A and B are shown apart, each in its own frame.
Chain A
Amino acid sequence: GAVVSQHPSRVICKSGTSVKIECRSLDFQATTMFWYRQFPKQSLMLMATSNEGSKATYEQGVEKDKFLINHASLTLSTLTVTSAHPEDSSFYICSANPTVQETQYFGPGTRLLVL
């Protein structure tokens, strides 16, 4: 149980285009989902907290107009990187909390490369 999926697993795009990443909780409902960014050999950096049916809460220094987050249902959150640039290339990981649990379960990650 407690499986989180992400799609796509890997994406290459041209500079200036937008990329959407989906995060789904497959066997549980998640009131809260989180989006992280991870650079090579570094820890996870929280970008934003996504609550179903409400606006996402962004961490300090994260551009909300660049990283659009939508949490339309209890099993799906999406992250859209708008007008991507090479510096946005990174490993993006989502996680989800089953309702009334503190445990976060992570997705497999999405590798984004912006050319």
Chain B
Amino acid sequence: QQQVKQSPQSLIVQKGGIPIINCAYENTAFDYFPWYQQFPGKGPALLIAIRPDVSEKKEGRFTISFNKSAKQFSLHIMDSQPGDSATYFCAASRREYGNKLVFGAGTILRVKS
């Protein structure tokens, strides 16, 4: 029940394409859903985050779509660039659980120029 399932495991898109990464969770007590971007040999960097009372959030080229009834959320990257090639992790947490993050398995994205 504490798992966050992420798909696909890897993804290749052409420059300008819109990669979509999906995550699903079971625990309806989660109340915070961040996405992180990680480059090789670096720590994860927060991209964008959403709470379950919002169905969509945009920050620059990154959009989170959230479907509370389906317990799913997804990351869309508009006009993807080769510099977006990285590993992306979704996560979930709840303040009452001490804000401990439960991570998805990660998606390796490659944007071809």
Contact = CB atoms under 8 A, between A and B. Distances in A.
Contact of B98 (A43, A49, A111): A49
Given A32-B99, A49-B98, A97-B99, A106 B44 contact: yes
A46 interface: yes
B43 A106 contact: yes
Q: How large is the interface on B (under 10, 10 to 19, 20 to 34, 35 or more residues)?
A: 20 to 34
Interface in A46-103: 46, 49, 57, 91, 93, 95, 97, 102-103
A8 interface: no
Contact of A103 (B46, B100, B103): B46
B80 interface: no
Contacts of A6: 43
B49 A103 contact: yes
A54 to B, nearest CB: 12
Contact of A32 (B32, B44, B89, B98): B98
Contact of B44 (A42, A57, A93, A111): A93
B78 interface: no
Interface stretch (B15-23, B34-42, B52-60, B62-70): B34-42
A78 B70 CA distance: 40
A104 interface: yes
A107 B100 contact: no
Contacts of B34: 103-104
Contacts of A104: 34, 46, 93, 99, 101
B71 interface: no
A44 B46 contact: no
Interface in B1-50: 32, 34, 36, 41-46, 49
Given A41-B108, A106-B36, 6 more contacts: A32-B99, A102-B32, A102-B93, A102-B99, A103-B34, A104-B34
16 contacts: A6-B43, A42-B105, A42-B106, A43-B104, A44-B103, A46-B100, A49-B100, A57-B98, A93-B44, A95-B101, A102-B95, A102-B99, A106-B45, A107-B43, A108-B43, A109-B42
